[in-house]
Amino acid sequence: MAVSNTQVIFDNLYGIFTYLAIIVGVIVFALMAYLIIRYRAKNSSSDPEDTPRLGRIPTSRGHGRNVLITVTLSLILIAVLIITSFAAVDTLFPNTPPNATWCYGIPAYNQTQMAGQSCPRLEVTGHQFYWVFRYPNSHTDTNIFRVPVNTTVVLDVTSADVFHDFGIIQFKIKTDAIQGRTNTIWFIPYQVENYTIQCFELCGSGHVGMIAELDVMSVSDFQLWYSAAK
């Protein structure tokens, strides 16, 4: 069962590229098998006229057309790969997070937001070797991140010192945490459960222990907690 929208997006994209790879592989190997059988050497076969021989220039038999076909097909394949690659990046890493109409209507959390505006931003800051989470009401938590289920969560990720990499492996998302720079990611959790947040960039001797907990709560439980959190 899916745990977030990002997992669904990633799995669907992976599935599409897998099916495309299978189709291309079947076509290529089928063509190879056909050509091997069709043009295999026979006892009655003789060397073609353009077979290279010492001291003789091979006779041309339309190689220019073959080169044109090969180059054209190669350019088409390259164009398809470029287009699908950009589409994949745009799908996995959209430039603009969803607006407030996608966000849940919890007054305590969403009180400053109007429909059409950006969703509330949660600040994530990496330190050696822990994570600090800052909510819109200025409340901060260390190594524990609480969010409501079925809610658009927008994160602004940065670092207070060295390079880190914020990631939630079950959600199949991660982004660099770099001092002086903010990277934005977003997700929608589907299951009330606890998940592991890790640093995926070697950041020092304590890197292996730079782990935080993502606590996905019911909307009512989160509202009670957030209203009391100051």
CATH number where 163 lies: 2.60.40.420
Q: How many CB atoms lie within 10 A of CB 18?
A: 10
Q: Is residue 65 part of a domain?
A: no
Q: How far apart are CA 185 and CA 156, in angstroms?
A: 7
The per-residue pLDDT for 62 is 61
Please give the chain's pLDDT, 230 residues, in tens.
Answer: 789 888 888 888 888 888 888 998 898 899 899 988 887 777 776 766 667 777 776 666 666 777 788 888 889 888 887 877 776 666 555 555 555 444 544 444 444 444 445 566 789 999 999 999 998 888 899 999 999 888 888 889 999 999 999 999 999 889 999 999 999 888 889 999 999 999 999 999 999 999 999 999 998 898 888 888 77
Q: Is residue 19 part of a domain?
A: no
Q: What is the DSSP string of 54-111?
A: TTBPPPP-SHHHHHHHHHHHHHHHHHHHHHHHHHHHHHHS-SS--BGGGS---HHHHT
Q: How far apart are CA 35 and CA 120, in angstroms?
A: 60
User: Which region holds residue 131: left if phi is over 0, alpha if psi is between -120 and 50, else beta?
Assistant: beta
Verify cis geometry, omega within 30 degrees of 0, for the bond prior to 166: no
The per-residue pLDDT for 96 is 58
Q: How far apart are CA 24 and CA 129, in angstroms?
A: 45
What phi and psi values does residue 86 have, to the nearest 5 degrees?
A: -65, -40
How many domains are there within the chain? 1
Q: Is residue 54 part of a domain?
A: no
The per-residue pLDDT for 145 is 94
Q: Is residue 220 part of a domain?
A: yes
Q: Is residue 154 part of a domain?
A: yes
* Residue 35 DSSP symbol: H
State pTM to two decimals: 0.70
In order of 15, 24, 27, 80, 126, the CA distances from 20 in angstroms are 9, 6, 11, 11, 38
Give the domain extent around 155: 102-228
Give the amino acid at 100: A
Q: Is residue 59 part of a domain?
A: no
Q: Is residue 163 part of a domain?
A: yes
